[in-house]
Chain A
Amino acid sequence: MRIVIAEDAILLRAGLVRLLTEAGEDVVAAVGDATSLVAAVEQHRPDLAIVDVRMPPDLTDDGLRAAISIRGLWPDVGILVFSQYVEERYAAELLAGSVDGIGYLLKDRVADVSQFVAAARRVADGGTALDPEVVSQLMARTAKQDPIERLSPREREVLSLMAEGFSNQAIADQLVISTGAVEKHIANIFMKLDLPPTEHGNRRVLAVLHWMNQ
């Protein structure tokens, strides 16, 4: 896949380029500020843009704003927001439109190379990758604590992984259970949260996130 990287820390930018190139991906541009990010995306139309939140020119949330405008202009470009901190508020703003091809991860996650590359590929393919910390913040902040408390611990685990954007198969692998068991848990979760049970894939993630954010 073709990737544009926007990250102002030179060491990390170089490291990301090397890591992704070694993983067999094609990094078409690596820039250091939000303005050049939008220009690079316009020029290359990559499959994925990896975007740091805090970048020049303002050094506040420039990357996030650039990501949101890229989403509006070129919706088929996957966006992986990559940040020193994850903030529920930023996640909410980022996920306001749709969750297709959106990721939001802590920079620390790059330490687990294979998981990071898998998350990047998932986002480039139109999937979702939310940091477990984002999901736990969203879960803690939802006004509907009662239904959450009705979930069993296992169901809560499944809900978190679902919100992070993993497929049934990936959830099953991580929890070392069968996909059938995962499907059963998911059906229970949707029933307990009063959500329509027919949702699949990204629409399912979206349903869960919107439910948390209502």
Chain B
Amino acid sequence: MGSAGTRCDTPDTLPTTTDDRARRPHEVGLSPPIGRQQASYRRSTTPLSVEPVINDLLSPWRTNRLPRAIGLLATDLVLPWIPFALTIALVATSLGLAVTYPLATPFIGLLFVVAAAFGKLERSRVHAHTGADIGDPGHPRTTGSWWHRIRTLLASKSRWKEVAYFLTTPIWATALGVFTFCLWGASIFLVTLPVVAGRFPSGSAELGLFNVGPGLSAFAAGALGLVCLVVVAPWCTLGFAAARREVAAALLGPGQDEALRRRVRSLETSRSAAVDAAEKERRRIERDLHDGAQQRLVALAMDLGRAKERFETDPDGARQIIESAHDEAKAALSELRDLVRGIHPAILADRGLDAALSAVVARCPVPISLHVAVADRPPAAVESAAYFVVTEALMNAVRHADAGRVRIDIARHGDRLVLEVHDDGRGGADPSRGTGLRGLEERVAALGGWMQVLSPAGGPTSVLVELPCGS
């Protein structure tokens, strides 16, 4: 049993509870060094208020956004012309053959295929340069006769938006690119003026209305160039890249309507799953109480009633009945305890996953190795979902899969809690059939998480779950 992950809180290393509680918020407050730097930086600049402004003006230089934007605008000078040429050729051919409709069909089909393929490339290119993740617009996938398919494609807005994108982008993107690189070039030229102005054949540089000779005017031009180079050009570049990204998102991505529709669909599903899960849980609790503790209490009351009747006439018999009533009461207590723990184990709220699962593991008849690496406790709903995923998976492993060993790994990676329950049992678990796993899936989905069950017949079984811990 390699259980190093949970063994750290043994008496030797955990001095007192109060210490533990006091320490947690303290650590949280100190942990992000960036926050601290920002705080001290703000303190030092309060008297001098221009420094933050300068800092903001220079901010493009501090990230890798600038080189990526330059890369985008530079590649834009060439790359978009390829799909442009293909698209325009296909559009022209299709239009030319439109009179003889059947002949145009293959070209229109080809047009959409080309647009779709380049759309994919373009989305990933924009993503690489700007970080904007543009989703697939979700083209209509249809079956049926070729006529029906063509009609659906022709009516599909997203397809035509792609075509429009490839027909227009190269023109204005190239213009933006040329303008940007001229701006950079001119800025660099101006910066070098104080040095080179005197070396021109005429002795001065003629810039439109201005005639810049060596000396003060050259330095003024140099200063202007420096401002352009350091502030104007980077901001222009970033602005153009952003405009570029927005156009790509608008024409290549799913429209806002579609995105919202998808979100609503997924929320509807998860909400109804959450309601179902809660309802099922209430039924289970009702059933457990009814079949368990309630029956035992009835039996107990009955036994005590019988004992009372016999007390005068048959004290020995009454004693025996009281003894059995005593046992009945203890069994009811134990059943209630298990039931209440099943609803929500108190230790989960008090001490978190590690402590709560340690207790579960201790009660389990199968050897289990448990590793929990969760420094910052996730929200209560996430902890509780994780707890129930593990207990349910364990129950499956022990009851149905005949597992000989189980491994549980739980780790927090940033804003996600990842957990895996692995057993060496006979496998064949299927969430679409087993109600337990199905319920877990719903519970995980309700939290915006993700769950996968890998369980080939013959084993082994892995239940993988990822839960978002964001606030």
Contacts and interface: CB of A to CB of B under 8 A. Distances in A.
Interface of A: 54, 60-61, 64-65, 68-69, 72, 84-85, 87-90, 92-93, 95-97, 106-108, 111, 136-138, 140-141, 143, 145, 209-210, 213-214
Q: Which of B10, B330, B337 has the most CB of A within 10 A?
A: B10
Interface in B325-348: 326, 329-330, 333-334, 337, 340-341, 345-347
Given A87-B359, A88-B358, A137-B362, A60 B350 contact: yes
A37 B362 CA distance: 32
Nearest to A95: B11
B39 interface: no
Given A93-B11, A95-B11, A65 B362 contact: no
Contact of B3 (A88, A93, A95, A143): A143
Secondary structure class of chain B's binding surface, majority of residues? helix
A86 B223 CA distance: 76
B16 A68 contact: yes
Contact of B12 (A54, A68, A214): A214
A206 to B, nearest CB: 10
Contact of A143 (B4, B337, B345): B4
Contact of A96 (B7, B11, B350, B355): B11
B9 interface: yes
Interface of B: 1-4, 6-7, 9-12, 14-18, 326, 329-330, 333-334, 337, 340-341, 345-347, 349-351, 355, 358-359, 361-364, 367
A61 B7 contact: no
Contacts of B349: 60
B17 A68 contact: yes
Given A61-B350, A108-B337, 17 more contacts: A85-B337, A85-B345, A87-B347, A89-B347, A93-B14, A93-B17, A96-B14, A108-B333, A111-B329, A111-B333, A137-B358, A137-B362, A137-B363, A140-B361, A143-B4, A143-B7, A213-B10
A140 B11 contact: no
Contacts of B7: 143, 213-214
Contact of B9 (A65, A85, A92, A97): A92
A56 to B, nearest CB: 15
Given A141-B358, A143-B1, A92 B350 contact: no
A85 B346 contact: yes
Contacts of A141: 3, 6, 358, 361-362
B100 to A, nearest CB: 81
B376 to A, nearest CB: 18
Secondary structure class of chain A's binding surface, majority of residues? helix
B12 A85 contact: no
Given A111-B326, A210-B12, A140 B363 contact: yes
A214 B347 contact: no
Nearest to A142: B1
Contact of B359 (A68, A111, A137): A137
A96 B359 contact: no
Contacts of A143: 1-4, 7
Query: Which 7 pairs, one residue from A and one from B, show the smallest C-beta to C-beta distance?
Result: A137-B362, A96-B11, A89-B355, A213-B10, A140-B362, A108-B333, A87-B347
B278 to A, nearest CB: 23
22 contacts: A60-B349, A61-B17, A64-B17, A68-B16, A68-B17, A85-B345, A87-B347, A87-B359, A89-B358, A92-B14, A95-B11, A106-B337, A108-B334, A108-B337, A140-B363, A141-B358, A143-B4, A143-B7, A145-B1, A209-B11, A213-B7, A213-B12
Contact of A210 (B1, B9, B11): B11
B240 to A, nearest CB: 56
A90 B11 contact: no
A208 B240 CA distance: 72
A12 B341 CA distance: 20
A89 B326 CA distance: 30
Contacts of A209: 11
